[in-house]
Amino acid sequence: MDLRGIINEIAGQADDFLDGAANRAEARAGVTEQVGAAHPELSPADRRKVADGVMAILESEGFFAAGRDPRGAQAEDQENGE
């Protein structure tokens, strides 16, 4: 089974369901929960592969970078009085 589409789907939703995740462990738990809820048909091994893939994408996109505001540009605009 090609899991790439599911990985991209879950990674694309990460800002929504990981809002407030304080660290990678909490994020991993949230990703794992989201994968199970969205795709209960996956085997445990495939769920793990999807979670690994999502975490890799989040890492590569700087999701866990220090100083990153998970609220995005909206928070920056509010801070600048816009």
Structure confidence by residue, pLDDT tens digits, 15-71: 999 988 888 999 999 999 999 999 999 999 999 999 999 999 999 998 887 655 554
Does the pLDDT value for residue 3 go beyond 90?
yes
Measured CA to CA, the distance from residue 76 to residue 14 in angstroms comes to: 19
**Contact status, residue 8 vs residue 50, Cβ threshold 8 Å:** no
> What pLDDT does 56 receive?
96
The reported pLDDT for the residue numbered 66 is 64
Q: What is the pLDDT of residue 22?
A: 82
CA separation for the pair 52, 69 (Å, rounded): 23
Report how far apart, in Å, the C-alpha atoms of 44 and of each of 28, 33, 34, 71, 81 are. 15, 12, 13, 31, 47
Number of compact structural domains in the chain: 1
Question: By residue range, what is the domain housing residue 37?
Answer: 4-79
